[in-house]
Structure 1
Amino acid sequence: MKIALVGYGKMGQIIDEIAQQRGHEVVARLKETPTVESLNNADVVIEFSNPEAAFNNIKFCLEQQIPVVCGTTGWLDKKPEIEKIAIDNETAFIYGSNFSLGVNLFFAMNEKLAQLMQPFKNEYNCQLEEIHHIHKKDAPSGTAISIAEGIIKHSDFNSWKLEETQGSELGIFAIREDEVPGTHSVFYRSNVDEIELKHTAFNRKGFALGAVIASEWIVGKKGIFGMNDVLGLS
């Protein structure tokens, strides 16, 4: 495939390396807003930029009928608009709050655990925690939001909030520390014990590999997809 990388920070550089290892050609490495010329006839765009730029980057690429795999978080209030643009232009779009295989298995386990814990909601209090490097601009992380949404789907919580769990609001502690790639934990605590579900990323390569696998999968498809579709978990 011909891959255009829109957003060329640390993640973009790792994706570049893995894409080439898997036999693909990286035809664009963009730190600025893409243009028709700079996309260089790409088959697919992998977008890892920043929350301020993501919407316009994705919109432009979809309007050129190029499928987009996006891992940028912090812009999701505009996601329904992007999905409509993808459908209207008969192309494909995948958003992943986290592309790693381990995290997507974690998402599935998290939902199963939430179902198991629901009958014991009066005995156990649920709380989320996420730890990331100090350069991360959004809080909570997109991954933490996905985890929270998975719990909310199978519980009496109706929303999430930063800090302590209160009533019908599921709490997320967002910690920024050193160069931590990403650690996510779900706690169910009672007066007598604690159940913890935890995923710890050792580096960014798992995220990058998942994004490349998603880009391989999306070419030739039309519609809105997620990593569950790519990995066959749905």
Structure 2
Amino acid sequence: MKIALIGYGKMGHAIEEIALERGHEIVLKVGIENIEENTIENIQKADVAIEFTGPEVAFDNVIKCLDAGVPVVSGSTGWLQRFEEATVYCNKKNGALLYASNFSVGVNIFFAINKKLAELMAPHTEYDVSVTEIHHTQKKDAPSGTAITLAEGILHSIKQKKKWVNEVSRNREELQIISERIDPAPGTHIITYSSEIDDIEIKHTAHNRKGFATGAVLAAEFLPGKKGIYSMSDVLGL
């Protein structure tokens, strides 16, 4: 399979390593130093594009891949206020878009556990729930996309929580997400349910970027030949 890498930072390098190990070919690598090569013509050389950039350019990159007629896997966070727009455009172009806030197989299992735990805790209003996320200091967005996905999974079942906030909050209707930036942490996410009697906590800790990169390549292998909007749940059958 021929892959275009839109975004060639630390994640792009990690994805390249896994893709090559799995027998794929990288036909385009776009980083800050060669942004002029990010063209529709170059993207069309690929069977699938993997887009890991920044929130300020992610949407435009996704649209460019759809215009090129190439299915695109996007792992950029911080741009989801335009995701519905991207969804409409994808369907209009009869294209394929797979987005995930986190591609790690372990994290996506953690998402499923988080949703199930929220369902179990919903009747027990004596517990208050919070989210903590810890990442390296170079991470541009806060809270992390993974933390937002976890928060949304909680809000679906814990009805006394009306919204999430990225700060300490004593308002029982607000789900607090605490963001910490500590090097060299690749990513830790903690869900805590606290009461006067006890605490219940689930935690996922990434040791390196290999899990994210492997999941992104699995997504890229899944997407060619498909149409519409997909997630890692589709890839993993969760």
Kept after mapping to 1: 8 A contact 2:3/2:47: yes
Deviation digits for residues 81-139 of structure 1, max 9, x if unmatched? Answer: 11111111111101100000000000000000001101111x11101000000000000
Q: Offset at 1:79?
A: 0.4
Q: Which residue of 1 aligns with 2:25?
A: 25
In 1, the alpha carbon distance for the partners of 2:75 and 2:85 equals 17
Counterpart of 1:144 in structure 2: which amino acid? A
Aligned residues: 232
Kept after mapping to 2: 8 A contact 1:18/1:208: yes
Q: Which residue of 1 aligns with 2:158?
A: 155
In 2, the alpha carbon distance for the partners of 1:188 and 1:26 equals 44
Kept after mapping to 2: 8 A contact 1:28/1:40: no
Distance change (3 Å), C-alpha of 1:89 and 1:218 = same
The SS at the match of 1:56 is helix
In 2, the alpha carbon distance for the partners of 1:131 and 1:226 equals 24
* TM superposition outliers: structure 1 runs of 4+ over 4 Å: none
Q: Offset at 1:64?
A: 1.2
Q: Which residue of 2 aligns with 1:180?
A: 185
Counterpart of 1:204 in structure 2: which amino acid? R
Deviation digits for residues 5-59 of structure 1, max 9, x if unmatched? Answer: 0000000001001001001000000012620233251110000011111011111
In 2, the alpha carbon distance for the partners of 1:57 and 1:189 equals 42
Greater shift, 156-165 or 178-187, is seen at 156-165
The SS at the match of 2:177 is strand
Q: Which residue of 2 aligns with 1:62?
A: 66
Q: Which residue of 2 aligns with 1:71?
A: 75
Deviation digits for residues 172-196 of structure 1, max 9, x if unmatched? Answer: 0000001210000000011121100
The answer as to 2:94 corresponding to 1:90 is yes
Q: Which residue of 1 aligns with 2:231?
A: 226
The answer as to 2:197 corresponding to 1:192 is yes
The gaps in structure 2 that reach 5 residues or longer are none
In 1, the alpha carbon distance for the partners of 2:158 and 2:57 equals 34
Q: 1:130 aligns with which of 128, 133, 153?
A: 133
The SS at the match of 2:23 is coil
Q: With structure 1 as the length reference, what TM-score do the two structures score?
A: 0.97
In 2, the alpha carbon distance for the partners of 1:102 and 1:126 equals 22
What is the percentage of aligned positions where both structures have the same residue?
54
Q: 1:215 aligns with which of 216, 220, 228?
A: 220
In 2, the alpha carbon distance for the partners of 1:92 and 1:168 equals 37
Q: 2:49 aligns with which of 33, 45, 49?
A: 45
Counterpart of 1:139 in structure 2: which amino acid? A
Kept after mapping to 2: 8 A contact 1:27/1:40: no
Kept after mapping to 2: 8 A contact 1:63/1:86: no
Q: With structure 2 as the length reference, what TM-score do the two structures score?
A: 0.95
Q: Which residue of 2 aligns with 1:112?
A: 116
In 2, the alpha carbon distance for the partners of 1:98 and 1:42 equals 23
In 2, the alpha carbon distance for the partners of 1:133 and 1:45 equals 26
In 2, the alpha carbon distance for the partners of 1:90 and 1:25 equals 25
The gaps in structure 1 that reach 5 residues or longer are none
Kept after mapping to 1: 8 A contact 2:71/2:224: yes
